Amino acid sequence: MFLALIAIGVLLFSQDQPLVSQGEPLDQPVVGGVYSEALVGSPVRLNPVLDFYNQVDFDLNRLIYSGLVRFDDRGLPHGELADSWGIAKDGRSYSFSIRPNAFWHDGAPVTSADVIFTIGLLKDEAIPIPPDLRAFWQQVEVVALDDKTLQFRLAEAFSPFLDYLAIGILPSHLLGSLSPGELIDAPFNLQPVGSGPYRFQSLEVSEDQITGILLQASSNYYGEQPFIQELHFLFFPDAETALSAFEQGEVMGVGHIPTDLIGRALANEEMQIFTGRLPKLNLVYLNLDNKDLPFFKDLEVRRALLMAVNRDWIINHLLGGQAILANGPIFPENWAFYGGGSRVAFDPDQALELIKKAGYTIPAAGGRSREKDGVRLEFELAYPDQPSYAAIAEKIQQDWQRIGVIVTLKAVPYAELLEKYLQPRTYQAALVELDLSRSPDPDPYPFWHQAQITSGQNYAQWDDRQVSEYLEQARVLDDLNERSRRYRNFQVRFATEIPALTLFYPTYSYGVDRSVFGVSMGPLHDPSDRFNNVTSWYLQTAPKAQLLVTETAQP
């Protein structure tokens, strides 16, 4: 018994003590270092109200400036300069509170006056922004409630409004004395002061050309302090020379690796490549209201046309795998995406059967196309006059020919395709790309609502009252679950009716040296989203002391 009591005591004593094991040396991020990246193009104005037509400016401004909100991979808003906001019950006013620790890089506080000043510029005719964006802001009133709170007042409820508040805010205390016209050529645009994680440090100029820009981590940034202390951007005329700069050790990253260079980049063992879906949809519009082509109104013909196109082959052989097959108009991973609807798989044999069942046969007199009641399955497919689109159009033409549908191809400059074919609704079928960059909210209203048939962007002229009701309701509701339910119904209806032939979502690839840690990239609303977690990137690691891993034994 005595020995047993000793054994029990020893056991109980051991249960109260930590079990210690020797761990391997671990690494932790160290503050410091310089990351360098090659960008194609050149900066012009580092000013967020003047960067709409220059991706280089937009990329850099993403690091220098902050908006009231930002959006995550799923298109959900998060506070940036704003630490909170509220929406009125009628959806017509939005109130924002600015972070008390939000400061400009020169130390001045960010205030409501800065936001009002920036929005005022977007309303001015002198500022070169898209006309529809200016028209939108001209309908919005912005009122300061105090130095750190303000309110936006809309003419009517509009759920996608937060999309517009991701734009970088400008410092009114530095620019308020300038007219909009003077701002366009102000020295500030190449010596910017923002409130983002990195501040402007210096320009590098050679022969009157900007060859580099150095940014430095901002010590008064309100968010997570960056590990990397300096970002050095170098500018190149094309993607090939940018990639060559990486291969020669001049830079540690390449801002964009296009499809024709992806194989070369993958072969480089020093490069890690991140790929994300772009906010773009490639599809074939069918003019559903073209009186000369009544077969476009036949659902089974539309289904057969989609079923006959080998979209996977296009992605793998023509796009180098740099795209994702598209089954609908709302992007995967978005909060509104619904993946439960019907899907049309590649099946040329079944496509031919559908064409036959629809009554289209080879005429007795012969010919390559099938016909019904004297109407032949023949039409023109217009496409952008670019080699990549030409290859896709030719593949589609071949696929459709196999089921007895004859297509004539017509290459058209993109601007002409829009102005002379889509907008006047004179086209028969058109291969196009919908670019929804910088619009995280999925709002499909402009492209599929009945009200957009005549003069809007409903180029397919899809006339579906049920769909229109879903889209009307979804853009005025604030409850995300209710909006999601309407969009789910819309997507089910779209998959059932096939008003257009969705092909693929293109992707974006970004190359970074393997010595850079912490980089991640999800679906993109804009290529600058590759910097979403830039404050978590790091270059150096320091070994931790030998770590004692402790656990408490359980009885």
The domain spans of the chain are 27-65+196-270+519-555, 66-189, 280-507
**286-312: burial string, b at 16+ Cβ within 10 Å, e else:** bbbebeebebbebebbbbbbbbbbbbe
Q: Is the pLDDT confidence value at 427 over 80?
A: yes
- Residue 365, C-beta contacts closer than 8 angstroms, at least 6 positions apart: none
Give the number of other Cβ atoms within 10 Å of residue 423's Cβ.
14
DSSP 180-200: HHHHHT-GGGGS---SSSEEE
Tens digit of each residue's pLDDT (9 = 90 or more) over 480-538: 999 999 999 999 999 999 999 999 999 999 999 999 999 999 999 999 999 999 999 99
CATH for the stretch 66-189: 3.90.76.10
Tens digit of each residue's pLDDT (9 = 90 or more) over 352-366: 999 999 999 988 666
How confident is the model over 436-448, as a mean pLDDT? 96
Residue 78 DSSP SS3: strand
Give the number of other Cβ atoms within 10 Å of residue 61's Cβ.
24
Highest-scoring range by mean pLDDT, 27-36, 44-53, 536-545? 44-53
Q: What is the pLDDT of residue 540?
A: 78
Judged on CB neighbours under 10 Å (0-12, 13-18, 19+), 5 is exposed
Residue 545 CA to residue 25 CA, distance in Å, equals: 7
Q: What is the pLDDT of residue 549?
A: 42
How confident is the model over 29-43, as a mean pLDDT? 96
Q: What is the pLDDT of residue 483?
A: 98
Q: What is the DSSP letter of 168?
A: P
C-alpha pair distances (Å), 498 with each of 207, 297, 343, 408, 521:
55, 10, 10, 22, 32
- Residue 250, C-beta contacts closer than 8 angstroms, at least 6 positions apart: 36, 38, 234
Which architecture characterizes domain 280-507 according to CATH?
Answer: Roll (3.10)
Tens digit of each residue's pLDDT (9 = 90 or more) over 205-236: 999 999 999 999 999 999 999 999 999 999 99
Residue 310 CA to residue 345 CA, distance in Å, equals: 9
C-alpha pair distances (Å), 245 with each of 44, 125, 253, 537:
22, 41, 9, 21
Q: What is the pLDDT of residue 544?
A: 52
**Sign of the CA dihedral running 231, 260, 239, 185:** negative
Instruction: Answer yes or no: are the C-beta atoms of 172 and 120 closer than 8 Å.
Output: no
Residue 11 CA to residue 21 CA, distance in Å, equals: 19
Q: Is the pLDDT confidence value at 22 over 70?
A: no
Q: Is the pLDDT confidence value at 476 over 60?
A: yes
CATH for the stretch 27-65+196-270+519-555: 3.40.190.10
